[in-house]
């Protein structure tokens, strides 16, 4: 059973899908800690409802991302965390935490990376950009986190067709539905040791 920490900033529907998948045993692991960068995040309530320890670390309380990440490292200390899942976590992590948890931090992004990723590309902005570009497909990507935004090796992807009448909102809904399946699958594979360190198990659906 792996020990998982989930980092959140918002509503936490991906956190919920991970909680549910641990409960059913689909993920052979336990979420032992949820860290939020936003004290008002509904994700914190989801964690509390499930008896999961929570912590809040606000980015503006720290001078730079290294100090911010040092505060997070302090919270993680002694908790024996095998995997950190970013689930709608809107802060960039410093090199210190990325080095300490090398290839043990993964993220879900609501597009087919490397397209529609990078600084400022999060949440609804991603779907607006996809619709504007008239792309035929969008989807979601689970990838390892490195020091660049939305950049580390891809672990799994799921494609979603963009229909002519899709709006950013309808596309977001379709992609989110797939995220809730893809993220637990990727975490399960990680727990079972079925993912290469270079993201070699990349799958396009
Ligand atoms: C999800 O769509 C996730 O992919 C996205 O934020 C949403 C969080 O929703 N993440 C990013 O855009 C990261 N670049 P949730 O809080 O309901 O899981």
Is-same-fold flag (1-101; 108-205)? yes
3-class DSSP assignment, residue 114: coil
Q: Which pLDDT score, from 0 to 100, does residue 39 have?
A: 98
In terms of Cβ atoms closer than 10 Å to its own Cβ (0-12, 13-18, 19+), residue 65 is middle
Q: pTM of the entire structure?
A: 0.95
The rounded Å distance from CA 138 to ligand 1 centre is: 14
Rg of the chain on CA atoms, in Å: 16
Q: Which of 110, 71, 68 is nearest to 87 (CA)?
A: 110
Distance 14 CA to ligand 1 centre (A): 7
Distance, in Å, from the CA atom of 8 to the CA atom of 68, rounded to the nearest integer, reads 15
pLDDT tens series, the chain, 205 aa: 999 999 999 999 999 999 999 999 999 999 999 999 999 999 999 999 999 999 999 999 999 999 999 999 999 999 999 999 999 999 999 999 999 999 999 999 999 999 999 988 999 999 999 999 999 999 999 999 999 889 999 999 999 999 999 999 999 999 999 999 999 999 999 999 998 777 655 444 4
Domain ranges of the chain: 1-101, 108-205
The predicted structure's pLDDT at residue 110:
98
For atom 11 of ligand 1, which residue has the closest CA?
A: 122
Beta bridge partners of 107: 86, 143
Which option is the CATH number for 108-205: 3.30.460.80, 3.40.50.170, 3.40.50.300, 2.170.150.20? Answer: 3.40.50.170
Each residue's pLDDT tens digit, 94-134: 999 999 999 999 999 999 999 999 988 999 999 999 999 99
87 C-alpha to ligand 1 centroid (Å):
6
d(CA 14, CA 140): 12
Cα first-last separation, the chain: 27
Annotated active-site residue 109? The verdict is yes
| Ramachandran class of 116: left when φ > 0, alpha when ψ lies in -120 to 50, beta otherwise | left
Segment holding 118, helix H or strand E: none
| Fold type of domain 1-101 | Rossmann fold (3.40.50)
Q: What is the pLDDT of residue 58?
A: 98
pLDDT at 199: 63
Q: How far, in Å, CA of 198 to CA of 61, rounded?
A: 34
Q: CA distances (Å), 23 to each of 33, 80, 180, 189, 205, in order? A: 15, 20, 15, 16, 26
- Closest residue by Cα to atom 3, ligand 1, is 88
- The reported pLDDT for the residue numbered 153 is 94
């Amino acid at each position: 059973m792996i020990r998982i920490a989930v980092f959140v900033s918002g509503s936490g529907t991906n956190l919920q899908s991970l909680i549910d998948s641990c409960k059913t045993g689909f993920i052979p692991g336990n979420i032992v800690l949820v860290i939020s960068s936003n004290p008002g995040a509904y994700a914190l309530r989801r964690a509390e409802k499930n008896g999961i320890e929570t912590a809040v670390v606000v980015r503006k309380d720290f001078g730079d991302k290294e100090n911010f990440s040092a505060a997070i490292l302090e919270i993680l200390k002694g908790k024996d965390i095998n995997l950190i899942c970013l689930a709608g976590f809107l802060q960039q992590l410093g090199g210190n935490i990325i080095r300490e948890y090398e290839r043990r931090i993964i993220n879900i992004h609501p597009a087919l990376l490397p397209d529609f990723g990078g600084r400022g590309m999060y949440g609804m902005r991603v779907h607006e950009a996809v619709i504007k570009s008239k792309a035929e497909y969008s989807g979601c990507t689970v990838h390892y986190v490195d020091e660049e935004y939305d950049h580390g090796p891809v672990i799994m992807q799921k494609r979603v067709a963009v229909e002519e009448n899709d709006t950013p909102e309808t596309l977001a809904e379709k992609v989110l539905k797939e995220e809730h399946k893809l993220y637990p699958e990727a975490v399960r594979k990680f727990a079972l040791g079925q993912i290469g360190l270079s993201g070699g198990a990349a799958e396009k659906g």
